[in-house]
Chains A and B, each alone.
Chain A
């Protein structure tokens, strides 16, 4: 029997286990639906999310107050008479965009650092570990708020700031995964036949790190979405009149005593999206985990 079979899971190995996990299937369907909705927002949304109709302000949804509700506005309207459902649909675009690009930026930084630390070890590893420790000591929300306050709030700034702050988990996971892989036969063989270091990293290591990468990526994307919402809620993220879900909660705050549904709805939207992404990540982790671990 071979003792050197790679112990790291390949994503392709057991596709059946994904479908057997109901949480994973539901999460995938929900996430797919949100994605589709976001892409097709102009077609799906019943109204223009920015159009203010001043005589139709703060209409509640039908299930909250059937008498005051207007059948045209399924989820009511906000304090400026903008259709809530349409704003929520357009809000998904912001959350997904920020989540995805933040994950991309932090993923690139973290993966480069982590793979370098794991592959070269020694001094490189020490420097990366130091960077990770330093990064962890910085309070994310405070630093992000301060930077946005200095540079000004916009989608790009939020993505960049969060991307520069959320790479630590990528680095840690990639480092240990690379270390595990480095000792395996086929990487040693690639070195023995004289492959150059970047070549080995690109062709041998990265494809095998894919499943760990996907799991961390899903987690960080969820984190980024939550943080963007928090920043926007505090007024130092995405700026009005963009329909960020966090911003919608902030705008609804004044009316929380009489119209609590205005706060509840965007919150649920964030919850559902984050939950779907997390469950998807968990499903991938479970499906690719070594036997017996669940």
Chain B
């Protein structure tokens, strides 16, 4: 287990480096940063002065190393639009996105696990078809459109929940539903597939042979084994939600990092975009690593391997 964890951490580190390089390059190819900082009407000499001041005239590799070094210390540069540093901006918005993604994931799990279990038990019955139909339909809907439908129906027509902003818990409800909705199908399918496989396993027959009640067989013996990959996928989905929040946060004008990313992209505020990209990607790298380790730990066969 320890060796597995070490190797996995090494991979995460390598991917993290690659991602940071991509984020760095994306900013550099996006145009002349010095000109952007100097402003539109700045004279050429001013641009050159800024270029030297920010070290933008040195080789790319040196600049990358320096940028990475500063990023590791938490300094992601300054916004071209806001008077704050990029890290301060991100830290300011991150709690909203984290809350949104957590709520979304909880909702997704709350829908998908019971539905997946029910579909597996009632395989090829109407329950199964309904669950599968919902999943197929859910995956075919564009997320921004589904979010708008939620706004129209629950926000404008029924007026049950606020339709924009990030003030108070209520304004997170509709965005969380919209975000969770798109993770539910894949989690549901995996739960169902896992349960179907596990329910035909020999040890389920053993459990029945012990005279255990159906409930115990289903939850203690079957779900315990079927849930392992779902837990791992759920943490990956959490990472996807952080990045998928761009669309949802924009639709609901929820002040998270997704909305900040969209705003900054529209304003060509590239240091902020770069910072968010790096943070979201690193989150994903860490989350997938956690997922893999969790997966290994939940499975005694891997956990106990030296």
Contact = CB atoms under 8 A, between A and B. Distances in A.
Contact of B143 (A138, A230, A256): A230
A230 B246 CA distance: 10
Contacts of A260: 152
Interface residues of A, number: 41
A279 B243 contact: no
B246 A236 contact: no
B232 to A, nearest CB: 14
A120 interface: no
A240 to B, nearest CB: 15
A274 B144 contact: no
A130 B258 CA distance: 26
A60 interface: no
A286 B41 CA distance: 62
Contacts of B137: 271, 275
A138 B247 CA distance: 16
A134 B15 contact: yes
Contacts of A270: 140-142, 145
Nearest to A23: B136
A234 B262 contact: yes
Interface string A210-245: 000000000000100010011001111000000000
Contacts of A266: 145
Given A134-B19, A139-B281, A150 B152 contact: no
- Is the contact region of chain A dominated by helix, strand, or loop, or is it mixed? helix
B12 to A, nearest CB: 9
B283 to A, nearest CB: 9
A134 B285 CA distance: 8
B134 interface: no
A271 B15 contact: no
B268 A138 contact: no
Interface stretch (B24-32, B57-65, B74-82): B24-32
A264 interface: yes
A229 B262 contact: no
A256 B148 contact: yes
Interface string B263-306: 00110101001001100111011001000000000000000000
Contacts of B18: 130, 134
B52 interface: no
Interface in B1-52: 11, 14-16, 18-19, 22, 26, 29-31
B28 to A, nearest CB: 11
Contacts of B273: 142, 146
B30 A150 contact: yes
B26 A263 contact: no
B140 A278 contact: yes
A278 B281 CA distance: 28
Interface of A: 130, 133-134, 136-143, 145-147, 149-150, 222, 226, 229-230, 233-236, 246, 249, 253, 256-257, 260, 263-264, 266-267, 270-271, 274-275, 278-279, 282
Given A138-B277, A142-B280, A226-B143, 5 more contacts: A137-B285, A142-B277, A143-B277, A146-B265, A236-B266
21 contacts: A130-B15, A133-B11, A134-B18, A137-B281, A137-B288, A138-B281, A139-B244, A141-B244, A142-B243, A142-B261, A142-B265, A142-B276, A145-B246, A146-B273, A149-B30, A230-B247, A234-B246, A249-B144, A256-B151, A267-B145, A274-B141
